[in-house]
Structure 1
Amino acid sequence: MQRVFRIGQIVPSSNTTMETEIPAMLGAHALVHGTRFTFHSSRMRMKTVKKEELAAMDSESDRCAIELSDARVDVLGYACLVAIMSIGKSYHRISQERLHGRTVENGAPAPVVTSAGALVDALHVIKAKRVAVVAPYMKPLTQLVIDYIEQEGVKVTDSRALEIPDNIQVGRHDPARLPGIVAAMNVKDADAVVLSACVQMPSLPSIAEVEARTGKPVITAAVATTYAMLRALNLSTRVPGAGALLSGAFDDQAIAPRAASVHA
Structure 2
Amino acid sequence: METEIPALLRARELIAPERFTFHSARMRMKHVTKEELAAMDADSDRCALELSDARVDVMGYACLVAIMSMGHGYHRASADRLGGVAAQNGASAPVVTSAGALVDGIRAIGARRVAVVTPYMMPLTQMVVDYIRHEGIEVGDFRALEIPDNLAVAAHDPMALPGIVSGMVTDDVDAIVLSACVQMPSLAAVALVEALTRKPVLTAAIATTWAMLRALNLPTRVPGGGTLLSGAY
TM, length-normalised to structure 1: 0.88
Q: CA deviation at 1:125?
A: 0.5
Residue among 63, 66, 71 paired with 1:83: 66
Question: How far apart, in 1, do the equivalents of 2:163 and 2:218 lie?
Answer: 34
Specify every segment of 5 or more residues in structure 1 that has no aligned partner in the other structure, as ranges. Answer: 1-17, 251-264
Residue among 120, 142, 153 paired with 1:137: 120
Question: How far apart, in 1, do the equivalents of 2:105 and 2:125 lie?
Answer: 19
Q: CA deviation at 1:126?
A: 0.7
Deviation by residue 1:17-41 (Cα, 9 ceiling, x = unmatched) = x111001100011110021000111
Deviation by residue 1:18-72 (Cα, 9 ceiling, x = unmatched) = 1110011000111100210001110111000000000001000001001000000
Question: How far apart, in 2, do the equivalents of 1:19 and 1:45 lie?
Answer: 14
The share of aligned pairs that are identical, in percent, is: 70
Pairwise mapping of residues 168-247 of structure 1 onto structure 2 (< 5 A)? 168-247=151-230
Question: How far apart, in 1, do the equivalents of 2:114 and 2:165 lie?
Answer: 12
Question: In the alignment, does 2:161 pair up with 1:154?
Answer: no
Specify every segment of 5 or more residues in structure 2 that has no aligned partner in the other structure, as ranges. Answer: none
Deviation by residue 1:146-201 (Cα, 9 ceiling, x = unmatched) = 00000000111000000000000000000000000000000001000000000000
Residue among 93, 102, 111 paired with 1:110: 93
Structure 1 moving runs of 4+ over 4 Å: none
* Aligned partner of residue 23 in structure 2, secondary structure: strand
Question: How far apart, in 1, do the equivalents of 2:42 and 2:224 lie?
Answer: 35
Question: How far apart, in 2, do the equivalents of 1:193 and 1:39 lie?
Answer: 28
Question: In the alignment, does 2:149 pair up with 1:166?
Answer: yes
TM, length-normalised to structure 2: 0.99
Question: Which structure's residues are more often strand, by fraction?
Answer: 1
Q: Supply the AA of the counterpart residue of 1:60.
A: D
Residue among 26, 30, 42 paired with 2:25: 42
Question: How far apart, in 2, do the equivalents of 1:34 and 1:168 lie?
Answer: 35
Q: CA deviation at 1:127?
A: 1.1
Residue in 1 that maps onto 2:8: 25
